[in-house]
Structure 1
Amino acid sequence: MREALGTGGYGFASGILLPFQKLMLPVSASRESRRVPVIMSTRCSFGHENVPTGRMLMITYETERLILTPIQHGHEAELFKLNNDPLVRKANFNDVPQTIESVHEWLNRYSAQWRKNKFGVWLVYEKCNAGPMFIGRCGLQDYDDSTNPEFAYAFFEHATGRGLGPEAARFTITHAFRNSTKKKVIGFIAPGNERAERAANKLGLRYIDDRLYDGNISKYYEMTREEYFSKHH
């Protein structure tokens, strides 16, 4: 199971509470980023629908416009909805409808990587007057046998075009570098995805060459720790 950078929309652990250190973001990453305990609103907007969340107390981080929380078991409804969004499904799953069983597989994978790496993939909510609105997922995940984590994200179409993807990306990459000794972040973009290419360039990811990714040729990007912090200081 894989996903390429910038796939969702048009853009780029077993229920435990994970301990995090206070994260100091570069100024350009956000005017405000703090760790806060919140209870997600009892009703949270998914596109044009309102779906009850009934979530337990979770530790989250805030940026200027976003609330982010590590993906864990209990997020089945959000991930099922996102993975079956027409654009996300086409980009990530060859337009095959996703089942709740496949969602559980993804949750097992994400949770295991959080436990191992102390960083990973986050659910992303936009701050709204009526309560946090779920808009996608974003973060870093293990890539095959590489020691370099792969960056990938998927957003609903209605959340694209306002800079929310880059805002989430800066947070998740900063968190990964601050909480690990990883030297590099990598990403893959399908040919013709110009929006994702622009987003990658803004983040500082450099095109290296074309490589085989999940059976298809994709554009391979990477960025070192030093390159990232020199750009987002």
Structure 2
Amino acid sequence: MLTTERLIIRPLTLDDAAFALALYNEPSFLQYIGDKGVRTLEDARTNLEQGALASYQTYGFGMYKVLLQDGTAIGLCGLIQRDFLPVPDLGYAYFPQFTGQGYALEAAQAVVAYARTLQLTELQAIVSPQNLASKKLLEKVGMLPIAPVLVPHKNEWVDAYQLQL
């Protein structure tokens, strides 16, 4: 578990299925990240098992639940080892009512610091070309643009960023 001045960042569990179901079906999530096909609590549990929980076991990192200090769940931030990227990807998603308040930057900085403790030497991030707010956040974390990346299962080009740790 990571903590910052305003946030708690902790591993996901199967008990987070309702949270995941709600976040994955937010219009902004669908627009900028994509449709994960999560429509029921069972779908969300399966997604958690095959995604974050499997990643913790395989890589020692994954996506984490981001909460305010009072326990309010506001989104996700973490590291994803994608099969089409050579190094872990810094990823995040937030409920819209919690954007524009610096929470995403605070969580991303904490996750980048955590990545350093894992002895990672580089991170990348991918972002929809039209997601200007996300690009600005990546730059604030210190990431620099690199060549666009083709996401194979979507057959879609996305912008990419890189950070040497």
Provide TM-score, normalisation by structure 1.
Answer: 0.64
In the alignment, structure 1 residue 98 sits paired with structure 2 residue 39: yes
Which residue of 2 is the match for residue 10 of structure 1? none
Pairwise CA RMSD: 1.9
In the alignment, structure 1 residue 199 sits paired with structure 2 residue 141: no
Q: State the shift of 1:62 in Å.
A: 1.8
Alpha-carbon distance between aligned partners in 2 of 1:94 and 1:116, rounded to the nearest angstrom = 24
Which residue of 2 is the match for residue 215 of structure 1? 155
Alignment of 1:25-174 (within 5 A): 60-94=1-35, 98-108=39-49, 109-127=51-69, 131-144=70-83, 146-174=85-113
CA deviation profile, 1:156-215 (whole Å, cap 9, x unmatched): 111011110010011112112202x32210111111211111111111111111221231
Choose between structure 1 and 2: higher helix proportion: 2
Residues 90 and 96 in structure 1, CA contact (< 8 A), matched pair in contact too:
no
Q: State the shift of 1:115 in Å.
A: 1.6
**Which residues of structure 2 form unaligned runs of 5+?**
none
Q: State the shift of 1:119 in Å.
A: 2.0
How many residues align? The count is 162
CA deviation profile, 1:33-55 (whole Å, cap 9, x unmatched): xxxxxxxxxxxxxxxxxxxxxxx
Provide TM-score, normalisation by structure 2.
Answer: 0.89
Residues 21 and 38 in structure 2, CA contact (< 8 A), matched pair in contact too:
no
Q: Which amino acid aligns with 2:80?
A: Q
CA deviation profile, 1:48-100 (whole Å, cap 9, x unmatched): xxxxxxxxxxxx33210001111122211111111122221232234966333
**Which residues of structure 1 form unaligned runs of 5+?**
1-59, 226-233
Alpha-carbon distance between aligned partners in 1 of 2:28 and 2:116, rounded to the nearest angstrom = 30
Alpha-carbon distance between aligned partners in 2 of 1:160 and 1:184, rounded to the nearest angstrom = 26
Alpha-carbon distance between aligned partners in 2 of 1:139 and 1:78, rounded to the nearest angstrom = 16
